[in-house]
């Protein structure tokens, strides 16, 4: 029984005594009074009441709660089905291959929709540092897998290469053997050249900084760095050391114009988007080259001469000896960050530019 009917019954109950009293005063019998009431009710039913279609707050709440329950059940069932499919695909190879085959045509569209949906986040926060992140939160209890120290125990020198032998590059990288490649033609790149490249692409490069580190408070960003304009002003910044990391596709394409793909990198290898530029003034301190995104890291001495020291990872430091190498302008040193750590020794008199990237093996 709806609310309107209940209210109408209460109305009749409250007023039936009054109706009978009025009928008695008018000289009507009980049967006549009841007949009049019945006839009045029949006529009332013929006319729609004004509030007949009104939806009460209780009905709205009931419908809302029912809708929430249905939606929750749909989400729960969908999640359960997806979870079961995921678990089955993870532990059953045939099912996993089938699921991958079915979903592969839709992969681009799904991730494109996700990228478009997250575009508003770029206006509020720079999230480029998460593009290549393996996890959003660091696990303080995570430890790198123990390395096989046999790979570095018999390494007592840094190999030298003067020819682009791709098979030899692969072998050195797979055996965790550092080497220095000396190109026959060394391009001349000055600080002024980098400044000019920045000025021509300022809009893109300013928005593509994933990380920026400077030892000088007067040089807090790349704008102020390249605002020095020339090498003479850079020389005046004694002790200055700048690390600029970029992971952006657009900036990577711009940097590649000045720092092309090394000729010794095998054609089937992929070069990572992540690029790092180290710019040091005179008497700057040593720095450790941060491992690249891929298995092999290449370090190009763009300008100046530097001394470098290789040290093995901590678990192999007792059995593997450090390696020392003098790097000349144009030299490219390659190593595997899974086994080795590379420290560039302090810069002395002149300025220095070092370019770092990585590639797959």
Q: Which of 289, 293, 270 is CA-nearest to residue 327?
A: 289
Instruction: Kindly state the average pLDDT of the residues 308-335.
Output: 90
pLDDT of 162-211, one tens digit each?
A: 888 889 888 888 888 999 999 888 888 889 999 999 999 988 888 888 88
From the number of C-beta atoms within 10 Å of its C-beta (0-12, 13-18, 19+), residue 225 rates as: buried
Please state, rounded to an integer, the average pLDDT across all residues of the chain. Answer: 82
Are 226 and 130 a contacting pair, CB within 8 Å?
no
Least confident of 1-5, 84-88, 162-166: 1-5
Nearest residue to 143 (alpha-carbon basis) of 314, 352, 342: 314
How many C-beta neighbours within 10 Å does residue 288 have? 11
Residue 216 CA: distances (Å) to CA of 243, 284, 289: 12, 11, 19
Strand partners, 356: 276, 299
Question: Residues 259-280: what's their mean pLDDT?
Answer: 89
Instruction: Summarize pLDDT for 40-71 with one digit per residue, the tens.
Output: 666 554 444 444 445 566 678 778 888 899 99
């Amino acid at each position: 029984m709806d609310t309107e009917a209940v209210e109408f019954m209460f109305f009749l109950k409250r007023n039936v005594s009054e109706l009978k009293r009025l009928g008695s005063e008018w000289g009507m019998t009980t049967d006549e009074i009841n007949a009049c009431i019945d006839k009045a009710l029949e006529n009332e039913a013929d006319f729609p009441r004004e509030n007949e279609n009104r939806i009460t707050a209780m009905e709205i709440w009931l419908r809302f709660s029912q809708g929430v329950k249905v939606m929750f059940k749909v989400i729960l069932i969908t999640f359960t089905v997806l979870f079961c499919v995921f678990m089955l695909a993870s532990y059953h190879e045939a099912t996993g291959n089938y699921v991958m085959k079915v979903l592969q045509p839709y992969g681009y569209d799904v991730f494109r929709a996700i990228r478009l949906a997250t575009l508003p986040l770029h206006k509020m926060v720079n999230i480029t540092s998460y593009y290549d992140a393996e996890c959003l939160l660091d696990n303080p209890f995570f430890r790198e897998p123990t390395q096989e120290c046999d790979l570095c125990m018999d390494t007592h020198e840094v190999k030298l290469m003067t020819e682009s032998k791709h098979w030899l590059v692969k072998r050195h990288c797979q055996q965790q053997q550092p080497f220095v490649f000396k190109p026959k033609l060394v391009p001349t790149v000055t600080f002024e050249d980098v400044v000019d490249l920045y000025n021509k692409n300022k809009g893109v490069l300013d928005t593509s900084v994933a990380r920026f580190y400077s030892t000088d408070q007067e040089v807090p960003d790349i704008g102020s760095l390249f605002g020095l304009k020339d090498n003479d002003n850079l020389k005046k910044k004694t002790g200055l050391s700048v690390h600029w990391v970029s992971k952006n596709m657009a900036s990577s394409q711009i940097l590649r114009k000045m720092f092309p793909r090394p000729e010794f990198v095998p054609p089937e290898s992929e070069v990572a988007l992540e690029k790092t530029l180290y710019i040091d003034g005179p008497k700057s301190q040593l720095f450790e080259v941060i491992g690249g995104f891929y298995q092999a890291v290449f370090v190009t001495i763009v300008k100046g001469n530097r001394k470098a020291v290789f040290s093995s990872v901590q678990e192999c430091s007792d059995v593997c000896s450090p390696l020392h190498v003098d790097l000349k302008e144009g030299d490219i040193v390659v190593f595997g960050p899974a086994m080795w750590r590379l420290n560039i020794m302090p810069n002395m008199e002149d300025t220095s530019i070092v370019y770092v990237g990585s590639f797959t093996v």
